[in-house]
Amino acid sequence: MRQIVLLKVIPDLPEIKIDRETRRPIIEGVKRKISEVDKRALEAAIRLKEKAGGEVIALSQGGEKTQTALLEALAMGADESYVVYDPELSGLDPNATSLVLKAAVELIGEFDLVLAGEMSLDGMNSQVGPRVAELLDLPQVTYVKELMYEDGGLNAVRDLDYFDEEVKVPFPAVLTVVREINEPRIPGLMQIMKAKKKPQTIWSAKDLCLDPEDINEQSIVRVLDLVAPEVDRKQIIIEAESVEEAAEKLADALLEEGVI
C-alpha cells in the first residue's frame, strides 16, 4: 500500500504572543511544527503500513522551515518527504493550496491513499482534503475516527456528530481524520537519528509545471489584517480579613458586573 499524507507545518500556537500595542500576533522566532490533526493522519498511515506493508510519503507545501519540521514525520515512520517550497507561492488560501498539492501528488505518482487531518489548527477551514479529492476526481471519506485494515481492504468509521457511519474504503481514495482517531507516537532517539538519512525532496513551482501568477490568482480569500480582540481589564482588587469575607465581596462584585 502506497500512502501520501498531507501535512501542514504551522507555528506552535501556545508559543505565540500578542503585541500589546498593535494587538497583532508575534510570529517571528516561534517554533514550527506539524499541525496536530495532520499528525494523527500520519500516525494512521504508519499503523496501516505496519499491518499491510508498503510505504508512507509525507507531503507539504510551505516555507523554508517546513523541511526541518517534517523530520518529525520521518522519525515517526514516514519513508520519505516532499516539500513544495517557492517564495512566489506564499500566503495561499485553501483553494490555491489544493491546486499545488494536487500537482505534487500527481508528480509523486501511483498511490492507494491520500490522508490528511480534517483541518489545520491555524486556519481550521476543513477544505484542503476535500478539495484535493475533487481535483484528483477520487472518492473521499471525511471525519474518520476509526480505520481498520481487513482482508486486504479498509473499513472506516465516520464521526457525524449524532451518529457514526461505517463505510468501506475503495482504492485509490482520499481520507481526512479527526483528532479522536489515535494518539501519535513519540519517536525515540534512534528514529530521530535515522530520519536525517531518509530521502527529502524540495520542489519549486517550476518543478510542478505551475505558474505562480496563475496559482496566486486562484487565492479567493485575502487576509487583510489579523488582530487580537481588545481586552479592557478593570483590575479590581478585593481586600478582606478572611476567606469568607473575600468570597462574599467577590460574589457581590460579580453580581454588580452582571457576570452571575
Burial class (CB in 10 A: 0-12, 13-18, 19+), 59: buried
pLDDT of residue 123: 81
Give the chain's mean pLDDT.
Answer: 92
pLDDT of residue 159: 93
Taking 3-state DSSP, the helix, strand and coil percentages for the chain, each rounded to the nearest 5, stand at 35, 25, 40
**Percent of the chain having pLDDT more than 70?**
100
Hey, what's the cell of 207? 518543478
Q: What is the pTM of this model?
A: 0.85
Report whether pLDDT(12) > 90: no
**Can you list the alpha helix ranges (DSSP code H) found in 79-139?**
94-108, 128-136
Report whether pLDDT(46) > 90: yes
Please report which confidence band the pLDDT of residue 4 belongs to, taking 50, 70 and 90 as the band edges.
very high
pLDDT of residue 21: 82
Question: Nearest 5°: CA angle at 199, between 68 and 33?
Answer: 25
pLDDT of residue 105: 98
Mean pLDDT of 186-190: 94
C-beta of residue 81 within 8 angstroms of C-beta of residue 53:
no
First to last CA, the chain: 57
pLDDT of residue 38: 96
Residue 25: C-alpha distances to residues 15, 22, 65, 87, 119 (Å): 10, 9, 19, 22, 21
pLDDT of residue 235: 77
Mean pLDDT of 76-98: 94
Please report which confidence band the pLDDT of residue 201 belongs to, taking 50, 70 and 90 as the band edges.
very high
In angstroms, the CA 113 to CA 172 distance is 5
Identity of the residue numbered 173: A
Where in the chain are the domains? 2-217, 230-260
* Other Cβ atoms closer than 10 A to 181: 24
- Relative to beta strand 200-203, strand 113-117 is unpaired
Hey, what's the cell of 81? 518527504
pLDDT of residue 60: 96
Mean pLDDT of 81-105: 94
Please report which confidence band the pLDDT of residue 192 belongs to, taking 50, 70 and 90 as the band edges.
very high
Say which range, 31-35, 123-127, 232-236, has the weakest mean pLDDT.
232-236
**Percent of the chain having pLDDT more than 90?**
68
Burial class (CB in 10 A: 0-12, 13-18, 19+), 140: middle
Concatenated DSSP letters for 175-215? Answer: EEE-GGG-------HHHHHHHTTS-EEEE-TTTTT--HHHH
Quick one: CA torsion of 126, 127, 130, 131, rounded to 10 degrees? -170
Higher per-residue confidence, 223 vs 49: 49
Per-residue pLDDT tens over the stretch 134-153: 999 999 999 999 999 987 78
Residues 6 or more apart whose CB falls under 8 angstroms from that of 79 comprise 55, 56, 57, 198, 199
Per-residue pLDDT tens over the stretch 223-256: 888 888 877 777 788 888 899 999 999 998 888 8
Which class is 2-217 in CATH? alpha beta
Mean pLDDT of 106-116: 96
Residue 229: C-alpha distances to residues 11, 21, 23, 45, 60 (Å): 20, 12, 7, 39, 31
In angstroms, the CA 63 to CA 27 distance is 13
pLDDT of residue 209: 95
Report whether pLDDT(30) > 90: no
